[in-house]
Amino acid sequence: MKPEPALKTIDFDYHLPQELIAQTPVNPRDHSRLMVVQRKSRSIEHRRFFDLPEYMRPGDVMVFNESRVIPARLRGIRSDTGGNVEFLILDQLDTGVWQALVKPGRRMKVGVEFELVQGDHRITGIVMDSDKTGIRTLKFSGELDFDQIGEIPVPPYIHKPLEDSGRYQTVYAKTPGSIAAPTAGLHFTTSLLNALRDTGVKLVFATLHVGFGSFRPIDTDDVRSHQMRPERFSINQSAVDTINDAKVEGRRVISVGTTATRLMEHTAYLSPVVQNHSMLSATSGWADIFITPGHTFKIVDSLITNFHLPKSTLLMLTSAFADRNLILNAYREAIKLKYRFYSLGDAMLVL
């Protein structure tokens, strides 16, 4: 699972024109573009996402991350200056104690007090700690009711407010807990899911709550120096039975997104090997697997994903699943053909 010795962060850089960063979602969802990359032939096709069933086989298992984005962006004011502050809540450490990203960060030092106000809801808090990555530990005067005081967070490169915050949720989102959407799933509609079922594809749902680990920038030259921040996950017995049966019978397991991929590959390393196949076990916990070129995939046979930021862990995972040069060549072609990039952008199917 370790990166190759010479793997450098700069090896995953590319130039993206700003105008290709998608600011609004495609409507309908499944009308986004779909680049189909064949690893064996190294060929590239250009389709639409609603064409996805054409590439599926009866008996394929498609695994989705059903985590739901919570209103984790909170706005408040400093108690001393009245200045505006913004929080992106990450993890709960104890009753009323949370970790968060804070803006403006340099001014929110340990000991600074603040107040969150949303309508009749008013909560005070204090900055208790700050680590070297800029994450603050906050102590609140009461329990946070995100639905009352929070907003759905969107990535900072999206500058236009979403007209419908539901477009930053998958149609099958169920379990609240993510601070960012598992974006490969944003392309699916209910009718497309039904079309996949009609094709004979088995749909499986598990949960990995997308946190800071998924999008935290890599600030080291050597990939080996980066550590993934753990993210909560769970996968039930019904899901693992369906996936395990497919592996034993030689049917494909198709991962919808990098989060579903990390969930399965992390779980595979915790589970036994049966008949030369890695078998998943129903479990829950914290996934911190960092997938880079050199990783041996134990479960995932095909991958559906979006086009990711340069030098990101997500691009590294995609480059691990396919050849790095093949993926970067596909990105260059996507730029040439003006595909839409990042969370609200187009998709890639890697076969």
pLDDT in tens, 126-151: 999 998 878 999 999 988 888 888 99
Cβ 2 vs Cβ 224: under 8 Å:
yes
Could you give the CA distance from residue 238 to residue 251 in angstroms, rounded to a whole number? 17
Judgement on whether residues 58 and 99 belong to the same structural domain of the protein:
no
Instruction: State which of 103, 126, 151 marks the end of a domain.
Output: 151
With respect to residue 41, please indicate whether it lies within any of the assigned structural domains.
Answer: yes
Judgement on whether residues 37 and 89 belong to the same structural domain of the protein:
no
- In a 13 Å sphere around the CA of 209, the CA atoms on its Cβ side amount to 21
Cβ 302 vs Cβ 278: under 8 Å:
no
Give the CATH number, domain containing residue 136: 2.40.10.240
Domain with 286, as residue range(s), is 9-69+162-350
| Location of structure tokens 């479960």 | 299
Q: pTM for this one?
A: 0.93
Q: What is the chain's mean pLDDT, rounded?
A: 93
Query: How confident is the model over 248-269, as pLDDT tens digits?
Result: 999 999 999 999 999 999 999 8
Count of domains for the chain: 2
Judgement on whether residues 33 and 84 belong to the same structural domain of the protein:
no
Instruction: State which of 151, 181, 209 marks the end of a domain.
Output: 151
Judgement on whether residues 53 and 86 belong to the same structural domain of the protein:
no
Judgement on whether residues 99 and 38 belong to the same structural domain of the protein:
no
What is the amino acid identity at position 325?
N
Judgement on whether residues 139 and 232 belong to the same structural domain of the protein:
no
Judgement on whether residues 249 and 120 belong to the same structural domain of the protein:
no
Give the CATH number, domain containing residue 299: 3.40.1780.10
CA 282 to chain centre: 21
Judgement on whether residues 82 and 54 belong to the same structural domain of the protein:
no
What is the amino acid identity at position 193?
L
Query: How confident is the model over 12-42, as pLDDT tens digits?
Result: 999 999 999 999 999 999 999 999 999 999 9
pLDDT of residue 1: 47
What is the amino acid identity at position 162?
L
Residue 87 has pLDDT above 50, yes or no: yes
| Location of structure tokens 């949303």 | 118
